[in-house]
A and B are shown apart, each in its own frame.
Chain A
Amino acid sequence: MTPSITELKVDTDDVRVARLAAAAVGLSLMDAAIPMPLPGIKPGLANIVTLLVLARYGWRTAAWVSGLRVVASALLLGQFLAPGFFLSLAGALTSLAALGIARWLPPRWFGPISWSLIASFAHIAGQLLLARLWLIPHDSLFRLAPIFMLAALVFGVLNGLVACRLLREVLGEKPESRAG
């Protein structure tokens, strides 16, 4: 076999990011398969992974996992560079930015549920903003905002709870012991 000229050095961090991103992509595909009453409303299950990664490995890793997930799941769903991809990217970027601030909240008082809610609201805000600026440049778009925010509220809490449970039960963390 011809030896490869370019050798990619893969360290343990890369492997971890890849594994977590793969899990997130899997959840993204599940997301796409779950029927929803309104287009644009999704449970956002992949964000559970983002929350776990944020709690365990920090914001940088969470950003990597989230970014890879957006690109890879768009490729798998045939959405890459389609409007849905940019909406998804806008949501991921705004929620990552919000998480970058939210993770500094005192862990004694604010846990993954707060993060999840903050991220889900930031997500919908980013998406609506991009949609308003680019796809539907009319303010009547914001009439949908209450419905989207209600969905963000419900799924934000649910995803946060699942993240809490996984952190405690699977990864063996007590609720209070998370390192900031």
Chain B
Amino acid sequence: MFRDSPAHWLAFFRPGDWLVLLAALLWVGVSFPLLWQGGKGERAIIRQQGKVFMELALDKDRELRVPGPLGETQIVIANGQARVAADPGPRQYCVRQGWLSQAGEIAICAPNQVSLAIVGNQEAPYDSLNY
């Protein structure tokens, strides 16, 4: 009563089933590069008033203070990650973003005109992501 030829199994596919399968394959295929791009961050680029203030490798731990119109923004690099530890801005968005380690991640302290961006070996096709 059971026949096992591949053709027998393929016969279960209705035309729309192939479409759904194709859509699922495409979706999965697209999801890999989409969700895995960027990769590990290599360097932190700190900008002040739009100009590169300093470019630092993530593998060396250090702290630095970046002067801005409101005061000093404090940036910490440790364990291959970087974050804005303190900022004089009123809303603290860049501080609350926490540790950044993936290429493409960025913390922007707009009031103090300081930004901290992580870049990898390859240039990311976007300059920021928001969810």
Q: Which residues of A are in contact with B by a Cβ distance under 8 Å?
A: 105-106, 108-114, 117-118, 121, 139-140, 142-143, 145-146, 149-150, 152-153, 156-157, 160-161, 164-165, 168-169, 175
Contact = CB atoms under 8 A, between A and B. Distances in A.
Contacts, number: 71
Chain B interface SS verdict (over half): helix
Given A105-B16, A114-B14, A169-B2, 7 more contacts: A111-B14, A111-B16, A113-B17, A121-B24, A140-B102, A168-B12, A175-B11
A108 B102 CA distance: 47
Chain A interface SS verdict (over half): helix
Please tell me the size bucket of the interface on B.
20 to 34
Contacts of B9: 161, 165
Contacts of B14: 108-111, 113-114, 175
B7 interface: no
A109 B102 CA distance: 44
B11 to A, nearest CB: 7
Interface of B: 1-2, 9, 11-17, 20-21, 24-25, 27-28, 31-32, 35-36, 102, 131
